[in-house]
A and B are shown apart, each in its own frame.
Chain A
Amino acid sequence: MIRTALRYHAPDDLGEATELLHTHEERAAVLGGGTMLVPSLTRGDRDLDHVIDLRRIGLGEVSSTAGGMRIGASVSYARLLAAQPFTGATRLLQLAAEGITGGPQIRCQGTICGSVAYANPSSDVPAVLVALEAVIHLRGPGHSRAVPAEAFFLDAFTVDLRRGELLTGVTVGARSARVGYYKLKLAEGSWPIATASAVVPDAGDSLIGATVTLGAVSARPLRLDLAPLLDGHGRLPAAADVDDWVSAQLGEPWDDELAPGDYRRMVAGVVLRRALQRAQGK
């Protein structure tokens, strides 16, 4: 049961929403799908006076943009998956959304942008958006700005959101590429322990120009350009060398009750290789 006397707001437009956020600062939070916020309020982990529900603002659409797609702040995983077709690199979003567990309740309720704003290291979406070089669109009182995903995720559970700002959506480019997604979980109910989003050139065996973004292995998504690792033909070295290189890039690994940091360090290279294999159809 939510312990505080909570005021529920469902503003009709963004101006009103940002005004409320600005007024109440840290005593207010944006309610997207509520899959994280509501349990945290119920458990007493968060203490708020106001929640601002976005449902009446009209941010629930997936739309085509020049060269890509825009995902509104209220778009759920189920809504995203219904928005066919996914072209080019945006297929990564589809692959990640299809693997979201928790049943229809979570897939129909949880939102892409909610996951972005929450920035849980052990989740799918942040790293996928970094892999896609997505842009995060923010609206504050009297201003708008757009931030590259890679710059938006500052730390675990910490993003570049300023006073009164909220996410209105993300845009991703549908550049032509092959993609592969690999998620390591301990069991079906587990948070992701390590994810890898591979984006590789359209054809051939060469990985020149390929990137892999690792998720859940560190506090922020880690986007790796494979260039330093590749031989003259764009091929990877032996698996152990790949793993050692990835481990060296990792810095401080993420650590939680499901898996210690040293485990994440050991599997980071593995998920990277497997995502690349999937991208290359191997």
Chain B
Amino acid sequence: MTLAPEGPAVALGPLVGRSVRRKDGDLVLTGQGAYLDDVEFPGGTLHAALLRSPHPAARILRLNTTTALARPGVRVVIGGAEAAKLTEPLPHFYNPAMVGGRSIDFHPLAVDTVHYVGEPVAAVVAESLHQAQAALSDIEVEYEPQPYVLDSDDALAPQAPLVFDGWENNAVARLPFTEGDATTKLATAPYTLTGEISIQRYQTTPMETRGYVAAWSPDRRLTMHASTQNPHPMRSHLAQVLGISEHDVRVIAPRLGGGFGHKFHGYPEEALVALLARQAGAPVKWLESREESLLVGAREYVHRFEVGFDAAGKILALKDRILANVGALGPSGGWAQAFVAGLTLPGPYKINDYDVEVVPVATHKAPWNGARGYGKESAALLLERVMDLVAQRLELDPAEVRRRNLIPTAEMPYWTATKHIDGGDYHAVLEEVLQAADYPGRRAFQTAARARGRLLGVGIGFELAPEGADLAGSLVRGHDTATVRLDRSGGAIVLTGVTSPGTGNETGIAQMVAAELGIGVDDVRVMQGDTDMCPYGYGNFSSRSLTVGGAAAVLAARDLRGTLVQAGASLLKARAADCGLADGHLVDAATGARLPLRDVVNAVMTLGGAGLGIDERQLESTRTYAPENIHLVPDELGRMSVYPSYAYSAHVATVEVDRETGVVSLLSYAGVHDCGTVVNPMFVRGQFLGAIAMGIGGALWEESVYGADGRLRSDSLKRYLVPRAPDLPWIDTRTRETPSPFTLLGVKGGGESGVAGSLSAVANAVNDALLPLGVQVHRMPLSAPRLLSAISGAGVRG
């Protein structure tokens, strides 16, 4: 990895594919980058605090705000019933009813029933945060506790307490993903295996938590600063909830300190803060505490699977029943990860007969929101454990079993019932990671270590990462829009509908636009996240920012390039076909004549329609781009595909398990990634490394632990263990580039790849380490207590 030096104002050479420094990197590193908490209004900003339910399930019998309201500095105290009168129900980010599931109305505050510990029950606005929080203890709430259920199996039992009144049971939906005839194939398969994998609830812990600052102008227009990944959809939903026109809402998403899905819009606090500001008649700020942030769940699944295979290790059929404990549902888009967990199967493997059913189950835990991987990590963990279990059963090398099952490149693009996989060379990436990791050497090292009694394991993980989702019927769409404007200084402003969660995609987009216009990255300013400035866009999710947002900007830039070339050719009296843009100039390749770009821009503005050979023209273009390969209408075989691009990666981890303590050490790690054309290798590597670290954290440490009382116990970063640098080995990463045939420039999503592969590789490595003891651990995370319990159960203590 080489970092590009700080380039001249006009960069030379091809810009796409270069590790250009992040445009705001210096600002962020020197503490000058502003975030949501830096938003203050001149006349003073009020502060909100939320009273949250102490019960997992209870009726609210009485709520009295009088005493709290009388406290010094307190301006507003509001309970759920009153808030509900002032607002419409919260729209769902992705309504389960769209896929035949059960739905329910949610409100900014619990109205008469609480469904989880931490559900907002009342809100206070005061002149200081101190006063607001202090007033919470003076809100009197009388609860009548109700029976509650925390586990997904328990929640589906016939007599289970219902999370939502009026539901027949706690199943949010039943989602089938099937192809072929798995039942028959399993019955006739030479070998079968069954098993269960349970995955813990865990989340993404962005460095910056959520927050909102709402302010109403005297003409009743709402400006909402929001630490969100989706400013435009938030605007749509805020208008709906508050009963105002959408043009009376402006959402501004400032710089984000991490998104990962945690900042998908749809939280009750969004409309609530806007309502509080309206009631207070002054700007109101609310920031999520770390404790509140850790309430948000994700990724808690149980897989119960059956797999059939032949003597060569070829998988013949797969059945998987997946329960997803999605907590108390909520209006945000978290639960739909369960849908993607099913849809992703059978991943990168050619399995013609499969029968998958996903049941998202409501329980009295806090609701989910998005978490990087978005269900794909759950699918990968299942598939990758299956590959290793098959290898173990047949005494084959796990790499060989994968070779025999990966979809061959010759069959690309490849249809399953729910995916049209765009392309790639899975076998090549597998071989490359095996080579990068020195896989034969690792195995030899393992053999020697085992002979000395050490528990050393090598694990492979392969992941398929469907990206760029287009969920028609919701505001989660696959297309997006960008505007490019040229100015008389020869530079460009790009306004995009996609936003950056802090990844640096604005720099990537600037590279793409600069490349089209023959100008430097520093000559391009990218504006994101302001709904008054930017075209309507769906924001940041599903690793779509460059694939669609960047592509839309490229199309707009190409429009402008056409105008410039035509005008420049006229000025130089050259043939347009000979003219191009480079180094900030229009260049006539036939004669070598050059004109500074700013002169051409000026000519278009001052001479368009007056003899320049072009009519009156704005040097501004807005274009919408939708990738090909989205199939929203079922074909004759009933197949659909909501994801246009499919990144993939392969991983090898080597671990050692301390047989006396169960503590896992990572000894080495290699990952190879293919997300199509790479715009900025440094950013792609940064995303890949971060995702690998997140997957390792999920494999070994991160867990949202609930007590039997329904309270989250892991409510601080001393109790919820996120990997830190000393926990991780040197991570060797490599990139292959197989351009997507279906996207402009061949780009695929690159923001999520790595979570699923690293989770799987580490889970396999740990289980491989335990193999000599004859035990396996399929309950995640593979924490030291859990592993030591398994080791001691095998009778091999100390």
A1-B129, A263-B784 as given contacts; A189 in contact with B660, CB under 8 Å: no
Contacts of A260 in B (CB 8 A): 785
B130 x A3 contact (CB < 8 A): yes
A3 x B134 contact (CB < 8 A): yes
Q: A240 at the A/B interface (Cβ < 8 Å)?
A: yes
Q: Which of A5, A184, A239, A256 contacts B663 (CB 8 A)?
A: A184
A44-B133, A240-B797, A270-B661 as given contacts; A186 in contact with B714, CB under 8 Å: no
A263 x B785 contact (CB < 8 A): yes
Which candidate, B596-604, B609-617, B623-631, B719-727, is the interface stretch facing chain A? B719-727
**In this complex, what residue of B is CB-closest to A267?**
B661
Q: Which of A4, A189, A239, A269 contacts B717 (CB 8 A)?
A: A189
A65 to chain B, nearest CB (A): 34
B721 x A186 contact (CB < 8 A): yes
Q: A154 at the A/B interface (Cβ < 8 Å)?
A: no
Interface residues on B, range: 35 or more
**In this complex, what residue of A is CB-closest to B798?**
A239
Ranked nearest first, the 9 interchain pairs of A and B with the lowest CB-CB distance are A263-B785, A188-B724, A257-B713, A1-B129, A3-B134, A3-B133, A270-B660, A187-B721, A188-B726
**In this complex, what residue of A is CB-closest to B135?**
A3
A-B contact count (CB 8 A): 77
Q: A235 at the A/B interface (Cβ < 8 Å)?
A: no
Q: A56 at the A/B interface (Cβ < 8 Å)?
A: no
Cα separation A187 to B696 with both chains bound (whole Å): 12
A1-B130, A191-B718, A263-B789 as given contacts; A243 in contact with B724, CB under 8 Å: no
21 A–B contacts, CB within 8 A, in A order: A1-B130, A2-B130, A3-B130, A101-B724, A186-B784, A187-B700, A187-B721, A187-B723, A187-B724, A189-B721, A189-B722, A189-B724, A190-B701, A191-B718, A243-B797, A256-B719, A257-B713, A257-B714, A258-B721, A263-B785, A270-B798
Cα separation A270 to B725 with both chains bound (whole Å): 26
A267 x B660 contact (CB < 8 A): yes
Contacts of A175 in B (CB 8 A): none
A123 to chain B, nearest CB (A): 11
Contacts of A190 in B (CB 8 A): 701, 718, 721
A271 to chain B, nearest CB (A): 8
A267 to chain B, nearest CB (A): 5
Cα separation A101 to B291 with both chains bound (whole Å): 21
**In this complex, what residue of B is CB-closest to A257?**
B713
**In this complex, what residue of B is CB-closest to A4?**
B134
Contacts of B784 in A (CB 8 A): 186, 193, 259, 263
Q: Mark A37-50, 1 if CB is under 8 A from B, else 0.
A: 00100011000000
Q: How many residues of A contact B (CB 8 A)?
A: 31
Contacts of A240 in B (CB 8 A): 797-798
Cα separation A188 to B726 with both chains bound (whole Å): 7
Q: B192 at the A/B interface (Cβ < 8 Å)?
A: no
Q: Mark B439-482, 1 if CB is under 8 A from A, else 0.
A: 00000000000000000000000000000000000000000000
Q: Which of A188, A193, A258, A269 contacts B719 (CB 8 A)?
A: A258
Q: A266 at the A/B interface (Cβ < 8 Å)?
A: yes
Give the one of A3, A243, A262 with max B CB within 10 A.
A3
Cα separation A186 to B724 with both chains bound (whole Å): 12
B126 to chain A, nearest CB (A): 11
Contacts of A193 in B (CB 8 A): 784
A189-B722, A263-B785 as given contacts; A43 in contact with B291, CB under 8 Å: yes
Q: B618 at the A/B interface (Cβ < 8 Å)?
A: no
Q: In chain B, residues 374-409, which have Cβ atoms closer than 8 Å to a Cβ of chain A?
A: none
Q: In chain B, residues 103-131, which have Cβ atoms closer than 8 Å to a Cβ of chain A?
A: 128-130
Q: Mark B136-156, 1 if CB is under 8 A from A, else 0.
A: 110000000000000000000
Contacts of A270 in B (CB 8 A): 660-661, 798
Q: Known pairs A191-B718, A240-B798; list 14 more (Cβ under 8 Å).
A: A1-B130, A3-B130, A39-B716, A186-B701, A186-B721, A187-B700, A187-B701, A187-B721, A188-B723, A189-B724, A240-B797, A257-B705, A258-B719, A263-B788
Cα separation A168 to B527 with both chains bound (whole Å): 57
Cα separation A128 to B725 with both chains bound (whole Å): 27
Cα separation A69 to B50 with both chains bound (whole Å): 49
Q: Mark B768-798, 1 if CB is under 8 A from A, else 0.
A: 0000000000000001110011001000011
Q: Mark A1-13, 1 if CB is under 8 A from B, else 0.
A: 1111100000000
B134 x A186 contact (CB < 8 A): no
Contacts of A263 in B (CB 8 A): 662, 784-785, 788-789
A189-B717, A257-B705 as given contacts; A184 in contact with B661, CB under 8 Å: yes
Q: In chain A, residues 146-197, which have Cβ atoms closer than 8 Å to a Cβ of chain B?
A: 184, 186-191, 193
**In this complex, what residue of A is CB-closest to B706?**
A257
B788 x A267 contact (CB < 8 A): yes
Contacts of B136 in A (CB 8 A): 3
A165 to chain B, nearest CB (A): 28
B138 to chain A, nearest CB (A): 11
B727 x A188 contact (CB < 8 A): yes
Cα separation A278 to B137 with both chains bound (whole Å): 51
B718 x A189 contact (CB < 8 A): yes
A1-B133, A3-B130, A44-B133 as given contacts; A186 in contact with B788, CB under 8 Å: no
Contacts of B701 in A (CB 8 A): 186-187, 190
Cα separation A148 to B507 with both chains bound (whole Å): 61
A51 to chain B, nearest CB (A): 15
